[in-house]
Amino acid sequence: MKYIDEYRDERLARSLVAELRRRVTRPWVLMEICGGHTHTLMRYGIDELVPPEITLVHGPGCPVCVTPLEIIDKAIRIASRPEVTFVSYGDMLRVPGSSSDLFRVKAAGGDVRIAYSPMEALRIARANPHRPVVFFGIGFETTAPANGAAVWKARQEGLKNFSMLVSHVLVPPAIRLLLASPGNRVQGFIAPGHVCTVMGYRQYEQMSQESRVPFVVAGFEPIDLLEAITMLVAQLEEGRAVVENQYVRSVTREGNQPAQRIMEEVFEITDRKWRGVGMIPESGLRLRREFAEFDAEKVFRVEECTAEEPAECISALVLQGLKKPVECPAFGVRCTPDSPLGALMVSAEGACAAYYHYRRHSVPV
Amino acid sequence: MCLAVPGKILEISETVSGRVARVQFGGITRPVQLDFVPEATVGDYVVTHVGFAISRVDEEEAARTHQMLEAMGLLESEL
């Protein structure tokens, strides 16, 4: 397939790895922020291909993983109402809430449907004008424009039965928090290619300068990641710290203007709790007041609820790059994709799920 | 979730939800909203995420990267 196959070319991979071996003279710790990157790295064994001096740690860029427990519980409350059609990305269905999950609501007869786009939820709403249809709007900046556009279109059409449960999170505040944390050992960042397709990469320039840490925006195929790692190592070895773009076929410095405009029009920045990390100020998006009739939290008046995580789950430590999934005593034993203790084992991009699918054999017995 | 795939625009139509393209991804085609890439035309490749195109693949840039990498590959085989 065009623009995919070329980026999986084995000869190119080998020459990039050789280039890396030539360049690296000392240990470096790199973090990939995005869950999609984690999966490519694990699936193609890139973490094992790169020279041993390079340590790759996994960051919090998995929106399913960081959706707060309280929001999952709210989703379950709304979806459990017999009159509601609840539409969600498939990932979210098995994420454990305090005492249940959306899949169990569906199994018990709830009208919970999987969609790959908020446009499907709009279609369902149009086709069923007498049923309230709620879309579970989670994700990073990559997904926010689509969710924003759906709400904007709903208002334009005058849809009366559509609302969205919004829990968007933003990448830069999380990176800033990581950089400021005293235990931080990350020396270079692989920046998220599709978040940056939407937002551009200007936001990382100040961070890079202030913390003297290089960033390289990377695509999602194995060649993209190998090239990005090579670019990061080159900067580190040369003592440079700037933001570079490897994913030039999709990312520009300014990003996608129409997408940013719809985000600006429909959403505003808010404080947001990240599951496993805690409250990060101004790190989320919520619907603006003008769109209140499309805000499921307001429509269904779901009150604030506190929730507690299962004690064994070490998601917090994994999300911050402090522990690997295989170091968790429950990994693969009491916590598997079929019976997850935490969100990282559920999500297609969760680090624990990645390790379970591609690296289970390395768990010490 | 940040999974976005490049696909080829086969045709474009105006619908009640705006400009929608029929995009080919390998063996399948799907409808994709073009709200964020108004300049996209038939034959273009777009990176799509949750039913929306978020960028038009810049063929020139893609070729440049590819050429660079190919040059490295060739060099490697000569060593």
Interhelix angle A203-211/A171-180, rounded to 10 degrees, is 10
Q: In whole angstroms, what is the distance from residue A69 CA to residue A272 CA?
A: 12
Q: In whole angstroms, what is the distance from residue B2 CA to residue A61 CA?
A: 9
Q: Is the Cβ of A194 closer than 8 Å to some Cβ of chain B? A: yes
**Any residues with CB less than 8 A from the CB of A314 and at least 6 apart, and which?**
A323, A327, A328
- In this model, does residue B77 exceed pLDDT 60? no
Pairing of strands A267-274, A278-287: antiparallel
A297 to chain B, minimum CA–CA distance in Å?
A: 23
* Contact state of B1 with A1 under an 8 Å Cβ cutoff: no
Q: What is chain A's pLDDT, residue by residue, as a tens digit (365 residues)? A: 778 888 888 888 998 999 999 999 999 999 999 999 999 999 999 999 999 999 999 988 888 889 988 999 999 999 999 999 999 999 899 898 888 999 999 999 999 999 999 999 999 999 999 999 999 999 999 999 999 999 999 999 999 999 999 999 999 999 999 999 888 999 999 999 999 999 999 999 999 999 999 999 999 999 999 999 999 999 999 999 999 999 999 999 999 999 999 999 999 999 998 887 889 999 999 999 999 999 999 999 986 666 667 778 888 888 878 888 999 999 998 899 888 888 888 877 788 998 898 887 766 55
Pairing of strands B45-49, B52-56: antiparallel
CATH number of the CATH domain containing A43: 3.40.50.11750
Q: Which of A93, A225, A249, A263 to mutate to test the interface with B (most CBs of B within 10 A)?
A: A249
How many CB pairs (< 8 A) connect A and B? Answer: 143
Do A161 and A75 share a domain, yes or no?
yes
Q: Is residue A50 part of a domain?
A: yes
A209: left (phi over 0), alpha (psi -120 to 50) or beta: alpha
- State pTM to two decimals: 0.90
Do A137 and A262 share a domain, yes or no?
yes
What local confidence, expressed as pLDDT, does residue B1 receive?
Answer: 47
Pairing of strands A54-61, A267-274: unpaired
B5 to chain A, minimum CA–CA distance in Å?
A: 9
Q: Which of B28, B54, B60, B67 to mutate to test the interface with A (most CBs of A within 10 A)?
A: B54
* Contact state of B62 with A3 under an 8 Å Cβ cutoff: yes
Do A267 and A240 share a domain, yes or no?
no
Q: Is residue A105 part of a domain?
A: yes
* Contact state of B4 with A348 under an 8 Å Cβ cutoff: no
* Contact state of A348 with B6 under an 8 Å Cβ cutoff: no
The shortest CB-CB distance from B3 to any of A3, A19, A36 is to A36
Do A98 and A164 share a domain, yes or no?
yes
Do A272 and A129 share a domain, yes or no?
yes
Q: In whole angstroms, what is the distance from residue A344 CA to residue A351 CA?
A: 6
Q: Which phi and psi (to 5°) does residue A30 adopt?
A: -115, 145
DSSP 8-state class, residue A361: G
Q: Is residue A228 part of a domain?
A: yes
Residues of B in contact with A250 (CB under 8 A): 47, 54-55, 57-58
- Other beta carbons within 10 angstroms of residue A247's beta carbon come to 27
CATH number of the CATH domain containing A117: 3.40.50.11740
B16 to chain A, minimum CA–CA distance in Å?
A: 9
Residues of A in contact with B37 (CB under 8 A): 256, 258
Q: In whole angstroms, what is the distance from residue A223 CA to residue A110 CA?
A: 43
- Other beta carbons within 10 angstroms of residue A278's beta carbon come to 10
Do A164 and A175 share a domain, yes or no?
no
Do A155 and A272 share a domain, yes or no?
yes
Do A161 and A267 share a domain, yes or no?
yes
Q: Is residue A309 part of a domain?
A: no
- Other beta carbons within 10 angstroms of residue A11's beta carbon come to 14
Domain that holds residue A54: 5-62+171-245
Do A203 and A328 share a domain, yes or no?
no
Number of domains chain B is built from: 1
- In this model, does residue B75 exceed pLDDT 60? no
What is the pLDDT averaged over residues B47-59? 94
**Any residues with CB less than 8 A from the CB of A328 and at least 6 apart, and which?**
A312, A313, A314, A318, A335, A352
Q: Is the Cβ of A231 closer than 8 Å to some Cβ of chain B? A: no
Q: Which of A6, A9, A117, A159 to mutate to test the interface with B (most CBs of B within 10 A)?
A: A117
Residues of A in contact with B18 (CB under 8 A): 153
Do A99 and A162 share a domain, yes or no?
yes
Note whether A349 and B2 are within 8 A (CB).
yes
Do A11 and A79 share a domain, yes or no?
no
Q: In whole angstroms, what is the distance from residue A145 CA to residue A111 CA?
A: 26
CATH number of the CATH domain containing B49: 2.30.30.140
Q: Is residue A283 part of a domain?
A: yes
Note whether B10 and A45 are within 8 A (CB).
no
Domain that holds residue B27: 5-78
Q: Is the Cβ of A293 closer than 8 Å to some Cβ of chain B? A: no
Q: Is residue A84 part of a domain?
A: yes
